[in-house]
Structures are given as C-alpha cells and as structure tokens.
C-alpha cells in the first residue's frame, strides 16, 4: 500500500525509532508498504519507516528503483559496525522534496541487519550504496541529511519546505 511520505520539518521525522523484536507479519507488511511507497515516487532509492510515520527500525533501499529485484534490500534493526574513508556526495531525501546538498559521509561501511526472513546478514558497501545505508540508518535515529548541513543551508531549506507544505495544505498546484 502506498503511504503518505512526511515532509521535513516535523517531530515524527526527528524521533528515534524503536528496535523490532521479530520480523513478524506486521513488519513484513511495513516492508511491503515501504517498497510500494518508494517505487511510487519513481526516483526514490531508499525509504525508512519514520518517513511514513512508523517508529520502527525498518528501512528499504533499491538503487535499481525496482528494475533489478536482486538490489532490493530490507534493513531491519540495521547497525553500522565500521566506517572507513570520507566522501562528499550530493544527497537528496524523499522527505525533503526538490532539494539536494553535498553531505560528508564515510566512503565504505560494514553493516549488520535482519532481512525479511528474520536472519541476520552482513553487508560491506561503498559508493552510492554506502551513502544510502548511512542516510537510512540516520532516519531511524531521527536524523535527516539536512541536520548535517550548516545552519544557514538548513534554515533556507526549512523555509522552502514550509512554503511547500502550506501550498499543499491549501490545495494549490504549481
Ligand atoms: Zn531520506
């Protein structure tokens, strides 16, 4: 089911999510909703549960945007165990539509998470996938990429997002 993606700023996006105890039917339904919602955006490569208003440590990533099922990643209780190097890549977020800024991240990460089968797996990633993993784990900690920008840049984006939200509320179209 396609759910509404919350737009920053807002308290729900900035709250830490709770660990999942077991990958039960409810978590599986949440994962399905995350994929449906992410694919419906056409350009999203990652989505975390708090972005659809659910405070569970669950996120999905698919760099192929639905074209290659092997790239669809399910992250339940993900933990980044090791980080190495530095990159400054431009990042965007489905909760901050229309914006993109360079963010400093580790260039390589080692991550541990549960999959949809409830089994733990380990993943070593670099490049775009490493950045996406760090971005999604941040969401589960109540942090967005804008929180990693300078106060000046963040305030400018906040103003634009507030305008966007008021336009959406009034039903006006661009
Ligand atoms: Zn995001």
Q: What is the pTM of this model?
A: 0.95
Give catalytic status of residue 26 as yes or no: no
Which residue from 102, 100, 105, 56 is spatially nearest to 80, judged by alpha carbons?
105
Q: Which of 91, 99, 101, 136 is catalytic?
A: 136
pLDDT digits (tens, 9 = 90+) for 60-96: 999 999 999 999 999 999 999 999 999 999 999 999 9
Which pLDDT score is estimated for 173? 56
| Contact in structure between 59 and 75 (CB atoms under 8 Å) | yes
* Segment 101-126 mean pLDDT: 98
Compute the distance from residue 50 Cα to the ligand 1 centre, in Å: 10
Strand-pairing partners, residue 67, are none
- Residue 153 Cα to chain centre, angstroms: 20
What CATH class is the domain 25-170?
A: alpha beta
Confidence grade of residue 170 (pLDDT, cut at 50, 70, 90) = confident
């Amino acid at each position: 089911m396609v759910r509404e993606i919350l737009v920053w700023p807002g308290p729900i996006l900035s709250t830490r999510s709770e660990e999942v105890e077991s990958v039960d039917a409810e978590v599986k339904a949440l994962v399905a909703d995350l994929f449906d919602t992410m694919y419906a955006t056409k350009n999203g490569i990652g989505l975390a549960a708090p972005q659809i208003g659910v405070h569970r440590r669950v996120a999905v990533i698919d760099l192929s945007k639905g074209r290659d099922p092997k790239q669809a990643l399910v992250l339940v209780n993900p933990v980044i165990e090791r980080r190495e190097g530095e990159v400054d890549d431009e990042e965007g977020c489905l909760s901050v539509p229309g914006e993109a800024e360079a963010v400093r991240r580790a260039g390589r990460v080692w991550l541990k998470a549960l999959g949809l089968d409830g089994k733990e797996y380990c993943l070593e990633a670099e490049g775009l996938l490493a950045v996406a993993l760090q971005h999604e784990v941040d969401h589960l900690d109540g942090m967005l990429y804008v929180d990693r920008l300078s106060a000046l840049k963040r305030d400018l984006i906040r103003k634009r997002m507030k305008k966007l939200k008021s336009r959406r509320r009034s039903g006006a179209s661009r």
